[in-house]
Structure 1
Amino acid sequence: MKYIAANFPCWTRRAALALLLGFGLLGPAGQAMAAVCATDDTGEEVCLEQPARRIAVLSPGATELVYAAGAGEKVVAVVSFSDYPPEAKQVQSVGSHTRLDLETLVALKPDLVVGWVTGNPREQLEKLRTLDMAVFSIEPRDFEGVSTAIERLARLAATDQAGQQVADEFRQGMAGLAEQHADAEPVSVFYQVWDEPLMTVNDEHLIGKVISLCGGVNVFGDLERLVPRISAEAVLAADPEAILAGGMGEENRHWLTRWADFPALQATEDDNLFFVPPSLIQRPTPRLLQGSRLFCEKLEQVRSKRAAAQTDGPAAP
C-alpha cells in the first residue's frame, strides 16, 4: 500500500486501493478509507496514505493558514518570519522561504510539505518531490481562495471541523464587509507595498481587491504586473486622495514620511496618510478580515473629512 501511495498518480492509487480492497488484500476497510486527497493552487492533486501528522510549512503566510486549519500541533518545521500565531516561533526553522535548509527539513521527516507557489525556489520543491515527499503548494489570490486553502489543508490534516469553522467565519466576515461598503463613495487610493524600490499593487492583487471592497479606486489598478515598480513622480501625477502603507514592522510608519514632504499632494493636504500593520493586510490569511476592516475604516475617515469640508463650504469673504 505504501509503495502505491508514494509512487503512482492519485487516480491510479485510488483505483489500486479499490482493487486491493476488493480482493481482500488490505485488511480492515478503514485502512483504505484513511487516504486523503486535495488539489493545490497549481492544480496538482496531492494524496496522502493517511492524514498528515508531521507538517513542514515553507512561508509565514502558509504557517498561519495551517494553524488556522486546526493543524498547528502537527507543524514540525517553519521558515523565518513565521511569527503568527506566537507558538509558531517555537517550531524548528528550516531556513528562509527563499532558501531552504533541505538537510534539516528532510531530517524532520515531514509527511506533508506546504509550499508557497511563487515564494519558494522551484528547484528545491522539486528536490523534495524526488524524495517522495508530498508537496502541497498554496497561494490564495482572492478572498474565497483563503477559505478554500484552509478547508483543503484541514482535509489533509483531518482537522476538518476546526478548519471549516475558521473558513466559514472568514467567508462570512468578508461578505458582510463587502455588503457594508457596496454603495460607498469612491476614494482614490495609493497603497505602498514597498519603499525602495517603490512598489504598489494592481487590481488583481489581493490587496487591490481589498481596496475595491472598501469602495476605493486603486490609482495604479490597471498596471499589468501584480506588484509593479513605480516612481514618486507617478504617485504625484496620480494625486490620490488617500495613501496607505504597511511599512517594515507592526508599528513602523516611516514609509509615510516621504509623502508628508509634498504638501500639494491631496492625501498630504487632507492628512490622509494611513498606516496599516502589514501582517494584517499583506498575508492572505484569516487575519486579512481584520486588516480589511481597518482599511475600510481609513477610507471612511476620508469620506467623513470630505463630507465635513463640503458642509462647511468656502470661508466667508
Structure 2
Amino acid sequence: MLKKTPVILIIFSLILISSAQAYPITISDNFGSEVIIVEPPQRIVSLSPCNTEILFAVGAGDQVVGGTTYDTYPPDAVNLSKIGGFSTVDIEAVVNLTPDLVLAEYGNGEETVNALMNLNLTVVSLNPKTLDDILDNILLVGKITGNDESSILLTTDMKQKIENIGAQTKDIPDSNKPTVLYIVWHDPMYAAGTGSYPNDLLTIAGGMNIVGEEGWPIIDLEQIIDRNPEIIICSGMGGGSYTIMEAITENEVLSTVDAVKNNKVYPISDPNVMELAGPRIVEGLTELYGYIEPEIESNATVIATEDQTNVSQSPDFSILFAISIVLLMAYLQKRRI
C-alpha cells in the first residue's frame, strides 16, 4: 500500500545526487517505454494538470512552457501557453512550442502519445494507479528534470504525513472501521475500487471500501443498498462533488442507506486534492481522515456500550456464588433431616 523508505537510504541518496547529475540518462516510463533524456529539459510541455503540479513542485516550473486549459495550480500554471484540453490535445500547438520534453498521461490517449512520438519528440508517459505510483512518479519527474534532491525531500515529507495518519489507524480493529463508498460520478455511478489510489487513501484513513472490484467500476443502486456504506464520499471535478451528493441524497431508493440516513454524505470541496495524482494528494488524505475518524470513534463507543450491556445483563459471579451457597446449604439441611 505504501512502501517505506529507511531514513539512512534517503540520506545516502541525497549524498549521491549532491553533485550535478550526468546526462544522458535512460528511464522507463509508466507505459514501459525506454526513453533517453539527452540533457536537462529546458522546454517542457505538460499534457495534464497533475503532471504540471508535479513539475512545479519538484522545482522545474521555470522550464514548463505549455500546459492544458485545465491547469490552474499552482497559480503560475494559469499563464502557460495552452495546448488544448486533457483529452483533446492540439498536436500542432505542442509542436509549435518546440519542446525538448513532453510529459504525457494515460488519459491523453494512446493515439495522441504515438502521434507525438512519431514526430520525434521526447515523450515520457505517466499512468499512476496507486499511492506508491504517485510517489514514484514524483521521483521520476525529479530525476528527468535534474531535480532529484527536491523530489526526494518532497516525497519524504509526503510519506511522513501519510505515516502520521496511518499510525492513528493501523491498529484499529475492522469492527470499528466505517464502511465507505467513494464516488467520482453518478450517471452512471463510477466508484473507486481496489488498486486505485483513493482506495489506498481510504484504507490509510481508517475506512473500509465497500467496492471490492478492481479499478473504477460502475456500481448500481442495488449494490449500494446491499453493502450499506456508513459514509459516502463524493468527488467530482468542476463542481461535480455537489452534483453527485445531490444525486445520492435526493434519491428515494437510497434513503435507507446508513450514510444517507445519518447525513454522512460528504462532498470534496476541492476534488483536485483527491483526483489529481500529485503532491497535494496528502491534503486529500487529511480531508478523508477528518470525515472517517469521528465515525471510528462512534463505532468504538457503540461496541463498548454493547459489550457493557452484555456484561450487565449476565449474572454477576458473586450472585451466582451466593446462589450456589444457598442451594448447598439447603441440600445439607435436607440431608440432616
Give the TM-score, by structure 1 length: 0.82
Partner secondary structure for residue 150 of structure 2 = helix
Task: Show the counterpart of 1:278.
Answer: 271
Q: 1:303 and 2:296 equivalent?
A: yes
After TM superposition, the structure 1 = structure 2 runs for residues 234-253 of structure 1, keeping only pairs within 5 Å, are 234-249=223-238, 252-253=241-242
Aligned residue number for residue 159 of structure 1: 147
In structure 2, the partner of 1:168 is 156
- Aligned length in residues: 281
Question: Does 1:60 pair with 2:49?
Answer: yes
Q: CA RMSD in A?
A: 2.3
Distance 1:238 1:62, change over 3 A: same
Q: Which amino acid is the alignment partner of residue 260 of structure 2?
A: T
How far apart are the structure 2 equivalents of 1:132 and 1:36? 17
The aligned residue for residue 113 of structure 1 is 102
Q: In structure 2, which of residues 169, 179, 197 is the aligned counterpart of residue 206 of structure 1?
A: 197
Aligned residue identity for 1:303: I
Q: Which secondary structure does the structure 1 equivalent of 2:120 belong to?
A: coil
Distance 1:308 1:269 in 2: 19
Q: What residue number does 2:218 align with?
A: 229
C-alpha displacement at 1:115, in angstroms?
A: 0.6
Match of 1:70 among 48, 59, 80: 59
2-side partners of 1:41 and 1:291: how far apart?
A: 23
Q: Which 10-residue stretch deviates more, 140-149 or 104-113?
A: 140-149
Question: 1:9 corresponds to which residue?
Answer: none
Are the aligned partners of 2:45 and 2:65 in contact in 1 as well (CA < 8 Å)?
Answer: yes
Give me the whole-angstrom Cα distance separating, in 1, the residues matched to 2:239 and 2:150.
Answer: 28
Q: Deviations over 1:155-191 (max 9, x none)?
A: 2111222222112111222223222210233211111
Q: 1:33: how far off?
A: 3.9
Distance 1:147 1:37 in 2: 19
- Indicate conservation of the 8 Å contact 2:58/2:138, yes or no: yes
Q: Trace 1:30-41 onto structure 2 (pairs within 5 A).
A: 33-41=22-30
Residue 308 (structure 1) shift: 5.2
Report how far residue 93 of structure 1 moved.
0.9
- 2:74 maps to which residue? 85
Question: Partner letter of residue 189 of structure 1?
Answer: V
Deviation, structure 1 residue 232:
2.1
Q: Deviations over 1:93-124 (max 9, x none)?
A: 1011212111111010000000112x012122
| Letter in structure 1 aligned against 2:117 | R
Preserved CA contact (<8 Å) 2:135 2:155: yes
Q: Does 1:220 align with 2:211?
A: yes
For residue 298 of structure 1, report the CA deviation from its aligned partner: 0.6
Partners of 1:206 and 1:144 lie apart in 2 by: 8
**Could you report, residue by residue, the CA deviation over 1:195-254 in whole angstroms, capped at 9, with x for unpaired residues?**
222110111111111111122111112x24x11112223212221111111133469523
- State the partner residue of 1:263: 255
Q: Which has the higher helix share?
A: 2
- Partners of 1:144 and 1:171 within 8 A in 2: no
SS for the counterpart of 2:45 is strand
Q: Which runs of 4+ in 1 moved over 4 A?
A: 307-314
TM-score by length of 2: 0.77
Residue type at the aligned position of 2:151: G
Residue aligned with 2:289, SS? helix
Q: Is the 8 A contact 2:236 2:271 kept in 1?
A: yes
Counterparts of 1:255 and 1:228 in 2: how far apart (Å)? 16
Task: For 2:283, give the aligned amino acid.
Answer: Q
Q: Displacement of 1:144 after TM fit?
A: 2.4
Indicate if the aligned counterparts of 2:177 and 2:299 stay in contact, CA closer than 8 A.
no
Question: 1:38: how far off?
Answer: 2.3
Amino acid in the other structure paired with 1:259: I
1:146 Cα deviation (Å)? 1.8
Shift of 1:147: 2.0
Moved more, 237-246 or 155-164: 155-164
Question: Does 2:113 match 1:134?
Answer: no
Given the alignment, which residue of 30, 34, 40 partners 1:45? 34
CA contact (8 A) 2:178 2:299 kept: no
